[in-house]
Amino acid sequence: MTVPDLDEAERFFVDILGARHVYTLGPKRSDDDDWMTVQLGVHPRTVIEEVRLYRLGTGLNLELFAYKAADGQASQPRNSDIGGHHLALYVDDIDVAADYLRDAGVEVMGVPVSSAQAAIGQRWLYFRSPWGMQFELVSYPFGKAYEQDAVVKLWNPAHPED
């Protein structure tokens, strides 16, 4: 994900969310071809100033990018905008996690919401990073209603019909 300030983002991910810095790359630029456009879909003279990779928990790896966009940068999209997004993080106890975030000065949006229908058993709550990106806490320590008779299959690109 692209962030406006890598040091601020690192403090948030490491100090608040408990991520571990793994490595740093950069810079990357392409002054005489269209590599940036072909590979990344950005203006050909955009510069990746730095990339930092973090590991959160036992499996989530995050790449944080600092770009110098040759054609300017758009504002943070809302969830309702095309390209809008959020990152959901599973927690065992959403109330404890929400209190922790509030105590750390993180903007927590509302109170935990209990899901309905197929997601009964789940609770969720949004919060924001210092740069305004939305994150979600999600918790279903006893499973969700749909899991009672769900058959779970992992996607296999060699057999996408399965």
Tens of pLDDT, residues 81-105: 988 899 999 999 999 999 999 999 9
Q: Check residue 149 and report its DSSP letter.
A: S
Under the banding of pLDDT at 50, 70 and 90, the label for residue 148 is: confident
| Distance from C-alpha of 70 to C-alpha of 43, rounded to nearest angstrom | 6
Smallest Cα–Cα separation from 113: which of 93, 85, 94, 87?
94
Q: Is the pLDDT of residue 156 over 90?
A: no
- Write down the pTM of the prediction: 0.83
Residue 19 has a pLDDT of 96
Token readout for 119 is: 């997601």
Chain mean pLDDT for the chain: 91
Q: Check residue 77 and report its DSSP letter.
A: P
Residue 79 has a pLDDT of 85
Q: Is the pLDDT of residue 159 over 90?
A: no
Residue 129 has a pLDDT of 96
Residue 162 has a pLDDT of 66
Residue 44 has a pLDDT of 95
Q: Is the pLDDT of residue 117 over 70?
A: yes
Q: 35: part of which helix (H) or strand (E)? A: helix 35-40
pLDDT digits (tens, 9 = 90+) for 16-70: 999 999 999 989 999 999 999 999 999 999 999 999 999 998 889 999 999 999 9
Residue 100 has a pLDDT of 97
Sign of CA dihedral 45, 12, 78, 59: positive
| Distance from C-alpha of 159 to C-alpha of 136, rounded to nearest angstrom | 32
Beta bridge partners of 87: 135
In sequence order, what are the residues at sequence separation of 6 or more whose Cβ sits closer than 8 angstroms to the Cβ of residue 80? none
